[in-house]
Amino acid sequence: MVSTPNNPGGLFYNIEKEPEDSCLYKRLKMDYNYGLGRIYTVEEIEKAKQSPGFDREYGLQYLGKIGNIFLPSQNVRTIQLGEQYSENKIPTNNYTLHSIGVDFGFSSSAAVLSLQY
């Protein structure tokens, strides 16, 4: 079996965590360094490092569910907007609480939007 790491807790993650003396498989871990100068050039790896999935695709890292819903660039923008519109920069009413939540309803459930004033 050959695989790229995905979510922790999956098949390959569990195989990796098995004790050496009871595991049925010979486990070989080869990150991009193994192929550097053989199947990858330094330039190819430097370009690949720009990808948010580089550590998972080339570095044997389990990244969990990072990026499944929001791109890293969207997270950066969200932080920037949060800093731009923080409480200390925009007058707020300290006696009013506002919140919003969204359940996109993946799988069999319907989407739900919740507002609280």
**Higher-scoring residue by pLDDT: 113, 79:** 79
Let me know if residue 63 belongs to a domain.
Answer: no
Q: How many domains does the chain fold into?
A: 2
- Please measure the distance between the N-terminal and C-terminal CA atoms of the chain and give it in whole angstroms: 53
If asked whether residues 51 and 79 sit together in one domain, one would say no
Specify if 45 maps to a domain.
yes
What pairs with residue 50 in β-bridges? Answer: none
Distance separating alpha carbons of residues 4 and 59, to the nearest angstrom: 9
Integer-rounded Cα Rg, in Å, for the chain is 22
pTM of the model: 0.49
More confident position, 26 or 62? 26
Within-domain flag for 1: no
* Tens digits of residue pLDDT in 35-91: 999 999 999 999 999 988 888 889 888 866 554 566 677 778 888 888 887 777 766
47 and 18 within one domain: yes
Q: How many CB atoms lie within 10 A of CB 93?
A: 7
54 and 78 part of one domain: no
Q: Which domain holds residue 97?
A: 72-116
